[in-house]
Amino acid sequence: MNAIKFLFAAYIVTWLIHAAYLGSLVRRFSRLRQQLKELGKK
Residues near other proteins (CB under 8 A) are: 2-4, 6-7, 9-11, 13-14, 17-18, 21-22, 25, 28-29, 32-33, 35-36, 39, 42
Q: What is the nearest approach in angstroms of other proteins to the Cβ of residue 16?
A: 9
Q: What is the nearest approach in angstroms of other proteins to the Cβ of residue 21?
A: 5
Q: What is the nearest approach in angstroms of other proteins to the Cβ of residue 18?
A: 7
The whole-angstrom separation of Cα 31 and Cα 38 is: 11
**Which secondary-structure segment (H or E) carries 32?**
helix 2-41
